[in-house]
Structure 1
Amino acid sequence: MLVLTRKVGERILIGDDIVLTILDSRGDGIRVGIDAPRGVKVQREEVVRAVTEANVEAAAASSADAEANLRDLLGGQAPPADPPASGDK
């Protein structure tokens, strides 16, 4: 990890087409401006983590719901086992 000290108005260049500009410094935080091509994703890590966790929870809940619905359709019976793969005896 590269660690830099910058002052307000100073910039950091990443590659040929990404520029980070230090806009403001207040107490324990800074404001950073990011200029990047449209195709480059710029995301806050905590937002990506929260969305990922929500998706995992939703998938787990829908999986449990799907199994319960299937049991209801089968009249309370467990779903049949998967058939053997071709070539198995």
Structure 2
Amino acid sequence: MNILKINQAQKETIGIQLLRRDSKAGCDLLIFNTNEMVFSLSIYRNKIVVESDIDITDFTWYLEKILPVFKNSSLQVEQIICEQVV
């Protein structure tokens, strides 16, 4: 945490890799400043199960896991954008 505080004080982009203990899913978290964070869902990405070759990220699964962390930390979420590049 001390390293993160130093990086933030120097206005550096902070990168953290997050992994869930109870699943293989994870993400890369980039913190650009105190107002903007980006989650790249690239580690064993959870997908919506459909009976075709469609490859769709299950954004709901991630939001259900991530948003409570912000709420419990008294952080306010102003905007959420979910997009997948195919």
Q: Under a length normalisation based on structure 1, what TM-score does the superposition of the two structures give?
A: 0.32
Question: Which entry has the higher C-alpha Rg, 1 or 2?
Answer: 1
